[in-house]
Amino acid sequence: MSSYDPYTAPQHGPHHEERPPRRRLTRRRHDKVVAGVCGGVADYLGVDANLVRLVLVGAVVLGAGSGILLYLAAWWLMPEA
């Protein structure tokens, strides 16, 4: 016979740390221009939505339209908040 007990960490105690709520990448329902993708990305990253929109415009202009494909893919893949 073995007196082995598997170790289980205490659920509550002085060393128990609360996990922060899990962030989700979702499209905005409010304050959206086209589909809310840029606003959702801005919420996820914690930056202003206009900054994300400017980066997207730069990707469209400098990336020969690849930003449009990224936006459409995000529109299709990201759930609405």
| Residues 48/50/51/54 CA torsion (nearest 10 deg) | 170
What pLDDT is recorded for position 50?
92
What pLDDT is recorded for position 70?
86
CA atoms of 61 and 66, how far apart (whole Å) = 9
Q: What is the pLDDT along the chain (81 residues), one digit of tens a residue?
A: 566 666 665 566 566 567 777 778 888 887 778 888 888 888 889 899 899 999 989 888 888 788 888 888 988 998 887
CA atoms of 47 and 20, how far apart (whole Å) = 19
What pLDDT is recorded for position 3?
67
